[in-house]
Amino acid sequence: MSLKSFSDFLSFEKKYSSNTILAYSKDVEKFQHFLLKCFDISDLKKAHYSEIRRWITVLVDSGLTNRSVNRKISSLRSYYNFLIKTGSIRYSPLVKHKALKENKKIYVPFSEQEINDVLKSFNGNDFETIRDRLIIELLYCTGMRRNELIKVKIKDIDFIQERIKVLGKRKKERYIPLVGPLKKSLNNYIYYRKQLKIIKDSELLFLTKKGAKLYGAIVYRIVKIYFQIVSSKVKKSPHILRHSFATHLLKNGADLNAVKELLGHSSLAATQIYTNNNISELKKIYKNTHPRQSKIR
């Protein structure tokens, strides 16, 4: 079974993004090359777990983190599950494999003060300044992912019903409320966007100053540049703004299920990681409000 068939399966049936499909395909190709080089096996269907285990050892010895290795094995697992689905094999060689233990990532969100300081730091009325400010404001006020922000179209913004349509992972649509000063910022940006001399991608909301589609590296750079002025946190990225969005909502009493829907998570487990940052705040509330604590004071 060709890798092209596997890619088509991921695209049309699983509806994975092009980046995910590319990553999965590369991982399977690398294992295929390893299998041929080290064991003289050219057919992936003939691989056993012993060969895969040896590949895992090589990957770990090369310096890859357990998280990266697990991702590659996940790609391989998907490929073998695809072969089972198409009747090419009966059992996956990874059926009894257990993922390597990973160190949990700890994301430190920006504080509300840091975000306010950044939004206040913008000066100027040129297109790029207005755009960059809106990018940061939109990421924080909606919690959308970087790739989701890049794909937002003008028609996805509904000022009347005060909502934005977002195309998430696996092309799953969701609506996020459009409230407060964000509407004013959007209208302001759209006005400046119309002044561009050339607009190559007329449907998309965010463009470069040359009127072309915005790409991920620009969004990452914008967040990093502005937040390094006000924050000493090691990680400064669009994902940290998404993390801040969720953390601040939960801190101020938002329902976990509501935050899950806003973030576009498929399960609560993915959303619950954001509750970890609220433990210190919850301890304060507990000490100040629990009857037993009140008696102790």
- Per residue, the 3-state secondary structure of 168-210, as one string, reads CHHHCEEEEECCCCHHHHHHHHHHHHHCCCCCCCCCECCECCC
- CATH number for the domain spanning 124: value is 1.10.443.10
**And the tokens for 119?**
């939004």
State whether 131 and 27 are in the same domain. Answer: no
Q: Is residue 194 part of a domain?
A: yes
**Domain membership of residue 222 as a residue range:** 112-284
**And the tokens for 194?**
């119309």
Q: Is residue 172 part of a domain?
A: yes
State whether 238 and 203 are in the same domain. Answer: yes
5-14 core/surface letters (b: 16 or more CB in 10 A; e: else): ebbebbeeee
Q: Which of 72, 77, 151, 265 does the annotation list as catalytic?
A: 265
State whether 73 and 130 are in the same domain. Answer: no
State whether 25 and 159 are in the same domain. Answer: no
Question: Please, which residues have CB within 8 angstroms of residue 153's CB and are 6 or more apart in sequence?
Answer: 203, 204, 205
Of residues 109, 176, 192, 195, the one with CA closest to residue 138: 176
State whether 205 and 278 are in the same domain. Answer: yes
pTM above 0.85, yes or no: no
Give the Cβ contact number of residue 28 at 10 Å: 21
Q: How far apart are CA 116 and CA 193, in angstroms?
A: 24
Judge whether 170 counts as a catalytic residue: no
Residue 85 backbone class (left: φ over 0; alpha: ψ -120 to 50; beta: rest): alpha
Q: Which of 153, 233, 239, 251 does the annotation list as catalytic?
A: 239
Q: Is residue 102 part of a domain?
A: no
Percent of the chain topping pLDDT 70: 91
Judge whether 221 counts as a catalytic residue: no
Q: How far apart are CA 255 and CA 252, in angstroms?
A: 10
Q: Is residue 164 part of a domain?
A: yes
Q: Is residue 228 part of a domain?
A: yes
What is the average pLDDT across 284-288? 54
State whether 81 and 116 are in the same domain. Answer: no
pLDDT at 76: 96
Q: Which of 169, 233, 235, 251 does the annotation list as catalytic?
A: 169
The total domain count for the chain is: 2
Q: Express each pLDDT in 245-268 by its tens digit.
A: 999 998 888 888 888 899 988 888
Question: Please, which residues have CB within 8 angstroms of residue 181's CB and are 6 or more apart in sequence?
Answer: 137
Q: Is the predicted pLDDT of residue 40 greater than 50, yes or no?
A: yes
Q: Which of 70, 85, 100 is the endpoint of a domain?
A: 85
Q: Is residue 98 part of a domain?
A: no
State whether 124 and 16 are in the same domain. Answer: no
Q: How far apart are CA 123 and CA 129, in angstroms?
A: 7
State whether 79 and 37 are in the same domain. Answer: yes
Q: Express each pLDDT in 70-111 by its tens digit.
A: 999 999 999 999 999 999 999 999 999 999 998 776 778 999
Percent of the chain topping pLDDT 90: 68
Q: How far apart are CA 204 and CA 132, in angstroms?
A: 15
What is the average pLDDT across 270-274? 75
Structure-derived torsion over alpha carbons of residues 66, 71, 75, 81, reported in degrees to the nearest 10: 80
Give the Cβ contact number of residue 18 at 10 Å: 10
State whether 203 and 121 are in the same domain. Answer: yes
Judge whether 145 counts as a catalytic residue: yes
Judge whether 33 counts as a catalytic residue: no
pLDDT at 292: 54
Q: Express each pLDDT in 127-185 by its tens digit.
A: 999 999 999 999 999 999 999 999 999 999 999 999 999 998 878 899 999 888 899 99
Q: Which of 145, 151, 243, 248 does the annotation list as catalytic?
A: 145
pLDDT at 283: 53
Answer yes or no: are the C-beta atoms of 289 and 261 closer than 8 Å. no
Q: How far apart are CA 240 and CA 238, in angstroms?
A: 5
- CATH number for the domain spanning 58: value is 1.10.150.130
- Supply the DSSP symbol for 264: T
pLDDT at 296: 46
Q: Which of 242, 243, 248, 260 does the annotation list as catalytic?
A: 242
Q: How far apart are CA 38 and CA 54, in angstroms?
A: 10
Query: Which range (24-28, 106-110, 216-220) has the least confidence?
Result: 106-110
pLDDT at 86: 93
State whether 68 and 129 are in the same domain. Answer: no
Q: Express each pLDDT in 42-55 by its tens digit.
A: 999 999 999 999 99
Judge whether 290 counts as a catalytic residue: no
Q: Is residue 291 part of a domain?
A: no
State whether 79 and 120 are in the same domain. Answer: no
Q: Is the predicted pLDDT of residue 279 greater than 70, yes or no?
A: no
Judge whether 171 counts as a catalytic residue: no
